[in-house]
A and B are shown apart, each in its own frame.
Chain A
C-alpha cells in the first residue's frame, strides 16, 4: 500500500516549456487535490477533483490544467511554465465525504528558469 505517489520528484524547466505532474493513489479515495507550497505563502489549493469526472478550481488555478484520468490518477499540467510557478507541488487524496482527512504525496520540486 503505497498511499499517494507523485512523479517526478524533481524537475527543472525553462520558461515556456510544458510538463505534466503525475499523481496516483491506491487508497480507493474519491477525491484528489493539487497544492503548491511557497516560502511565506504556505500551502495553497490549485485544483481539486471531488469525484471521478469532476474538477474544480481552487485558490490559485491560473496557468494550470488538470485531468482526472480515472479514480486513481489526477495529473497537473503546466502548458507554458513561468518562473512564478517555481514551487513544491503536492498531490493529496481523501475519502468521498466533504470535510474528510486529506493524505499527501511526497511532492515534486519544480524550478522554472
Chain B
C-alpha cells in the first residue's frame, strides 16, 4: 500500500513569514513528486514538480526532495494571505502504473495578515 503522509494542520503563519510544509512517502521506488494548491471549493492547481534530489525554486516557492529519507517539502517565502489554502503532496511510483498519482490528505495553511 503506497502512502503519502502530511500533517493536516492547520498551519498558521504571519504574513511575510516562511511557511514550511512537509510530506513523507512510503514507496521507495517513487520517481515524481508534486505539490498542488487547492482553494476551498476549487480544483487542485499544480504549483511545483520535482524529480531529483535537492532543491527546486520557482518564485516564492521552493520544493526540496530527499529520496534517501523519503521526504519532500515545500517552502513558501514571504507568505501572503492569498497563499491560504490546502496544499496537497502527490507522488508517482516508478514502473508499471507510473501514471497513478497518490495524494496525501493535505495541509491547510492559514496566513494571518
Contact = CB atoms under 8 A, between A and B. Distances in A.
Given A99-B32, A102-B46, A107-B43, A94 B105 contact: no
A83 interface: no
Interface stretch (B59-67, B76-84, B95-103): B95-103
Interface string A56-90: 10110000000000000000000000000000001
B88 interface: yes
Interface in B88-111: 88, 90, 92, 94, 98-101, 103-106
B16 to A, nearest CB: 30
A102 B101 contact: yes
Interface residues of B, number: 23
Nearest to A99: B32
Interface in B34-69: 34, 36, 42-46, 49, 51
Contacts of A40: 105
B31 interface: yes
Nearest to A106: B43
B25 to A, nearest CB: 13
B100 A48 contact: yes
Contact of B103 (A42, A48, A56): A42
Bin chain A's interface residue count. Answer: 20 to 34
Nearest to A43: B103
A50 to B, nearest CB: 5
Contacts of B45: 104
| Residue with the greatest number of chain B CB neighbours at <10 A, chosen from A43, A50, A90, A99 | A99
A42 B49 contact: no
B92 A42 contact: no
Question: Nearest 10 pairs between A and B by C-beta?
Answer: A98-B98, A99-B32, A42-B105, A43-B103, A104-B43, A99-B92, A42-B103, A104-B44, A107-B43, A99-B98
